[in-house]
């Protein structure tokens, strides 16, 4: 199929960005969205142009490195997939596709479609852990966890830290991202001991870094490629309330 791409190009955080239009011919429906961009970049490099910068790594939807706004949706219009897993068979011949970086104040653009997501690490550093030194753990089966709790904790922990929730939120809120970690630990006995300190520290850091409040619109849940649920935000609020 033949496509028209409108891609955001921006040299660095200080420069002004703009959309640049590219024509792509003979795109196979079996390509992934990133493979289509690879093909564009090959063409650009071999014709003396400047390739589009975007981040990616595992190409199987688990590392959370890739992410871009495609036709107004983080990771594109198909639910529950990352950009690398978005198949071109969801597009049609003649389509115009608009591609932008994540847009959020705490995520400044580094170049083209790459944004600085270090703010997410800072929140994790503030308290996203259980304080156990290597060597101090008891036998694994001495910590019993109800099957249901383990499964719910897993569903929260499936968050890949891509930032789509922040990009989707009109308040640029990181509540879904933060609540995924809070929930994982809140549901496990190992995590209960530090629950209060953890939730205070992570929420405080989140606010400090300029992420907005939860808008209660649920855009984050709708756009999350790993289907992390809104119920985690409710749990975060409850944990936060209990911490004071």
Partner 1 sequence: MVVQIENTRNMEKLNAHIPDGPLALKWTKYKASVKLVNPANKRKIDIIVVGTGVAGAAAASTLGELGYNVKTFSYHDTPRRAHSVASQGGINAAKNYRNDGDSVYRLFIDMIKGGDYRAREANVYRAAEVSNQVIDHFTALGVPFARDYGGTLNTRSFGGVQVSRTFYAKGQTGQQCLLASYASLNRQIKNGTVTMYPYREMLDLVVIDGRARGIIARNMISGEIERHSAHAVVLATGGYGTIFYLSTLAVNSNATAAWKSYKKGAFFANPSFVQIHPTSIPQMNEFQAKLTLMSESLRNDGRIWVPKEKGDKRPPNDIPENERDYYLERRYPAFGNLVPRDIASRAAKERCDAGYGVGPAGLSVYLDFRDALAKQGKKAIEEKYGNLFDMYKTITGTDPYTEPMRIYPAGHYTMGGLWVDYELMTTIPGLYAIGEANFADHGANRLGASSLMQIAADGYFILPVTINNYLAGQIKVPSIPVEGREFDEAEKSVKERLEKLVSIGGKQSATSFHKRLGKIMWDYCGMSRNEKGLLKALDLVKNLREEFWKDLRVPGSLKELNQELEKAARIADFLELADLLIADALFRKESCGAHFREEYQTADGETLRNDAEYTCVAAWEYAGEGKAPILHREELKFEEVEMKVRSYK
With CB under 8 A as the contact rule, the residue among 143, 213, 216, 234 that binds partner 1 is: 143
Query: Does residue 75 touch partner 1 according to CB under 8 A?
Result: no
Please, which residue, 63 or 222, has the CB nearer to partner 1?
63
With CB under 8 A as the contact rule, the residue among 77, 92, 96, 150 that binds partner 1 is: 150
> Which range touches partner 1 (CB under 8 A), out of 15-23, 129-137, 211-219, 235-243?
129-137
Please, which residue, 87 or 98, has the CB nearer to partner 1?
87
Please, which residue, 106 or 191, has the CB nearer to partner 1?
191
Please, which residue, 37 or 172, has the CB nearer to partner 1?
37
> Which range touches partner 1 (CB under 8 A), out of 1-9, 134-142, 168-176, 232-240?
134-142
Query: Does residue 73 touch partner 1 according to CB under 8 A?
Result: no
Angle at 134 between CA 131 and CA 138, to 5 degrees: 80
Site for partner 1 in 153-172 (CB under 8 A): 153-154, 157-158, 160-161
Site for partner 1 in 185-244 (CB under 8 A): 185, 188, 190-191
Please, which residue, 20 or 150, has the CB nearer to partner 1?
150
Query: Does residue 98 touch partner 1 according to CB under 8 A?
Result: no
- How many angstroms separate the CA atoms of 166 and 211, rounded? 8
- How many angstroms separate the CA atoms of 127 and 206, rounded? 11
Give the gyration radius of the chain's Cα atoms: 20
* Closest distance of CB 166 from partner 1, Å: 14
| Measured distance between the N- and C-terminal CA atoms of the chain, rounded to whole angstroms | 58
Contact yes or no for 8/101 (Cβ under 8 A)? yes
> Which range touches partner 1 (CB under 8 A), out of 36-44, 94-102, 168-176, 207-215?
36-44
How far does Cα 93 stand from its chain's mean position?
29
With CB under 8 A as the contact rule, the residue among 20, 105, 116, 238 that binds partner 1 is: 116
Query: Does residue 7 touch partner 1 according to CB under 8 A?
Result: no
With CB under 8 A as the contact rule, the residue among 31, 209, 222, 231 that binds partner 1 is: 31
Query: Does residue 131 touch partner 1 according to CB under 8 A?
Result: yes
């Amino acid at each position: 199929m033949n496509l028209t791409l409108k891609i955001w190009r921006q040299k660095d955080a200080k420069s002004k960005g703009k959309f640049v239009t590219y024509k792509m011919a003979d795109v196979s429906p079996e390509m992934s969205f990133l493979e289509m961009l690879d093909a564009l970049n090959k063409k650009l490099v071999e014709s003396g142009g400047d390739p589009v910068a975007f981040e990616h790594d595992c190409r199987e939807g688990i590392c959370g490195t890739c992410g871009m706004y495609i036709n107004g949706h983080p990771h594109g219009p198909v639910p529950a997939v990352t950009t690398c897993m978005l198949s071109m068979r969801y597009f049609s011949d003649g389509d115009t596709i608009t591609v932008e970086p994540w847009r959020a104040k705490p995520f400044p653009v580094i170049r083209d479609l790459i944004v600085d997501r270090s703010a997410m690490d800072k929140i994790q550093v503030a308290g996203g852990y259980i304080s156990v030194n290597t060597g101090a753990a008891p036998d694994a089966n001495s910590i019993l966890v109800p099957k249901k709790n383990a499964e719910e904790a897993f569903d929260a922990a499936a968050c890949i830290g891509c930032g789509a929730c922040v990009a989707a939120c009109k308040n640029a809120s990181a509540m879904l991202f933060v609540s995924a970690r809070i929930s994982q630990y809140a549901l496990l006995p190992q995590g209960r001991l530090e629950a209060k300190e953890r939730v205070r520290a992570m929420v405080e850091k989140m606010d400090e870094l300029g992420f907005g409040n939860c808008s209660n619109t649920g855009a984050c849940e709708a756009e999350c490629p790993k289907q992390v649920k809104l119920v985690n935000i409710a749990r975060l609020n409850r944990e936060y309330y209990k911490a004071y």
